[in-house]
C-alpha cells in the first residue's frame, strides 16, 4: 500500500511540475496525503486546488473532511457551507455539515442539516440515526425512537441502530422492548461488551436469568470495557476498574471514566439484589442515599483519574463513535441523569429515575 501511495505521490507531483495550474493533481495529491494521515499537507493541496478553481466542489468537500478529521470543526463547517452554496441540492453536503455541527456540540444546527438531508435523500439511514441521537440527548425520547425505527427500516441488519433504540427505550421505561433490541444487537455484533452489559442490567430488572457469564467468552475482553465486565462478573472491584484505565489520551481517559461511572452506578444495586434474592426495586430513600454515596466516590476517584465533566462541545464525538461502532454506552442524556441523581434532594424523583433506568 505504501508503495502505491509513493507512486501516486510521485505522479501527481510530476504532473504539477509540468503544469502548476493542474487543479485535479493538487486535489488528488491532497487525497494521498490525507490517506497517509498528513492532514496539514492534505489541506494545503486542497486549498491550492480551491484557489485555482473556486467552483471545484471536491476541493472544498475534501478539505472539509480533512479539517473535520483534524478536529477543526469551524473550518469544516465553513467548507461544507461552500459546497452547499455551490450545490444546494447536495444531500451528502448537508449530512456532512450536520455531522460537523454535531461533533462541535451545535445540536440545533445539526438537526436542521439532518432534516434537510432527509428531505433531499429519504434513504440516508445515518441521517435518521444521528438525528435520533440528538433527540435522545435533548430528552425527546419519542422522536429518537421514531428516527431509530426509520433507520432500522432502511437497514435491519445494522447493530448500532438496535443498540441506540434499546438505550432510548430504557429511558422511555420500556425495559422489555429495550432488552429485545439489545439482544438483536448482540446477535448482529456478538463481541460487543457494551451490549452484553446492557442485557445483564435489564435482565436483573426484569428478574430474568443472567447471560453475561455464559457469553463472556465471546466478548472482546482485550480492552475497554472489559474491566467493567469483570466487575459485573464479580472478578474485579470498582478500584480495579479505575486502575485499569492507562490511556494516555486525556480525552479518551475522561470518556472511559464517564462510562465507568454510569455502568458502575447500575452494578452495586444488582449485586445487592442478587445477595438478598429480592425484587429489583429498592426504597426511594435508599436510592437517593446510595446515589449520593456514588457521587462522593466519584469525587474521590476524580482526583486520581481526572474529572468527569458534563458533556460539552468536545464530547459529542463519543456519541458519533457509539453510532458507528458501538463504541460507548454513555450518551450525554445518560450523563445528565446520572448527575441529576447525585444533585437532587427530591428522593421521590431520584428513586423513580433510578428505578426506571436499571436495577
Residue 282: phi, psi to the nearest 5?
-95, 165
**CATH architecture entry for 1-88:** Alpha Horseshoe (1.25)
Which residue ranges make up each domain of the chain? 1-88, 188-359
Classified as helix, coil or strand, 11 is helix
Residue with cell 445540536: 107
User: What does the pLDDT profile of the chain (359 residues) look like in tens digits?
Assistant: 666 888 999 999 999 999 999 999 999 999 999 999 999 999 999 999 999 999 999 999 999 999 999 999 999 999 999 999 999 999 999 999 999 999 999 999 999 999 999 999 999 999 999 999 999 989 999 999 999 999 999 999 999 999 999 999 998 889 899 999 999 999 999 988 889 989 988 888 777 887 888 888 888 887 788 888 888 888 888 778 777 766 666 667 777 777 777 776 666 444 444 444 333 323 333 344 444 444 444 444 444 333 433 333 233 333 333 333 322 333 433 433 333 323 333 322 322 222 222 22
pTM for this structure? 0.73
What does 136-152 look like in DSSP terms, one character per residue? HHTT-HHHHHHHHHHHH
DSSP state of 310: P
- DSSP labels, 206-268: TTPPP-HHHHGGGS--SSTTHHHHHHHTTSS-HHHHHHT---S-HHHHHHHHHHHHHHHHHHH
Question: Residue 59 in contact with residue 23, Cβ under 8 Å?
Answer: yes
Asked if residue 67 lies in contact with residue 43, where contact means CB atoms within 8 angstroms, the answer is yes
Cell 459485573 appears where?
232
Closest by Cα among 217, 207, 219 to 281: 207
Spatial separation of the C-alpha atoms in residues 289 and 118, rounded to whole Å: 46
Cell digits of residue 275 = 445477595
- CA neighbours within 13 Å on the CB side: how many for 332? 23
Residue whose C-alpha cell is 433504540: 165
Amino acid at each position: 500500500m505504501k508503495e502505491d501511495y509513493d507512486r501516486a505521490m510521485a505522479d501527481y507531483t510530476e504532473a504539477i511540475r509540468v503544469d502548476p495550474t493542474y487543479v485535479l493533481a493538487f486535489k488528488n495529491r491532497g487525497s494521498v496525503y490525507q490517506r497517509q494521515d498528513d492532514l496539514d499537507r492534505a489541506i494545503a493541496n486542497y486549498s491550492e486546488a480551491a484557489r485555482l478553481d473556486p467552483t471545484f466542489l471536491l476541493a472544498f468537500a475534501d478539505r472539509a473532511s480533512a479539517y473535520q478529521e483534524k478536529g477543526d470543526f469551524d473550518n469544516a463547517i465553513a467548507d461544507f457551507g461552500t459546497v452547499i452554496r455551490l450545490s444546494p441540492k447536495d444531500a451528502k453536503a448537508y449530512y456532512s455539515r450536520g455531522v460537523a455541527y454535531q461533533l462541535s456540540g451545535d445540536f440545533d444546527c445539526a438537526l436542521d442539516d439532518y432534516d434537510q438531508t432527509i428531505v433531499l435523500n429519504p434513504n440516508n439511514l445515518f441521517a435518521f440515526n444521528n438525528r435520533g441521537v440528538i433527540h435522545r440527548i435533548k430528552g425527546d425520547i419519542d422522536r429518537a425512537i421514531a428516527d431509530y425505527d426509520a433507520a432500522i427500516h432502511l437497514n435491519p441488519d445494522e447493530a448500532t441502530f438496535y443498540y441506540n433504540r434499546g438505550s432510548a427505550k430504557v429511558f422511555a421505561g420500556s425495559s422489555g422492548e429495550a432488552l429485545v433490541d439489545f439482544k438483536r444487537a448482540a446477535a448482529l455484533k456478538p463481541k460487543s461488551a457494551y451490549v452484553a452489559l446492557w442485557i445483564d442490567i435489564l435482565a436483573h430488572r426484569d428478574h430474568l436469568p443472567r447471560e453475561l457469564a455464559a457469553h463472556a467468552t465471546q466478548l472482546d475482553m482485550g480492552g475497554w470495557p472489559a474491566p467493567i465486565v469483570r466487575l459485573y462478573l464479580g472478578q474485579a472491584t470498582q478500584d480495579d476498574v479505575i486502575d485499569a484505565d492507562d490511556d494516555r489520551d486525556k480525552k479518551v481517559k475522561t470518556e472511559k471514566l464517564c462510562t465507568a461511572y454510569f455502568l458502575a452506578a447500575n452494578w452495586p444495586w444488582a449485586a445487592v439484589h442478587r445477595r438478598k434474592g429480592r425484587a429489583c426495586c429498592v426504597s426511594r430513600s435508599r436510592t437517593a442515599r446510595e446515589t449520593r454515596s456514588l457521587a462522593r466516590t466519584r469525587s474521590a476517584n476524580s482526583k486520581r483519574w481526572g474529572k468527569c465533566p458534563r458533556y460539552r462541545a468536545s464530547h459529542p464525538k463519543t456519541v458519533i463513535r457509539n453510532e458507528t461502532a458501538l463504541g460507548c454506552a454513555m450518551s450525554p442524556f445518560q450523563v445528565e441523569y446520572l448527575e441529576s441523581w447525585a444533585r437532587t434532594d427530591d428522593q421521590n424523583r431520584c428513586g423513580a429515575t433510578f428505578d426506571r433506568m436499571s436495577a
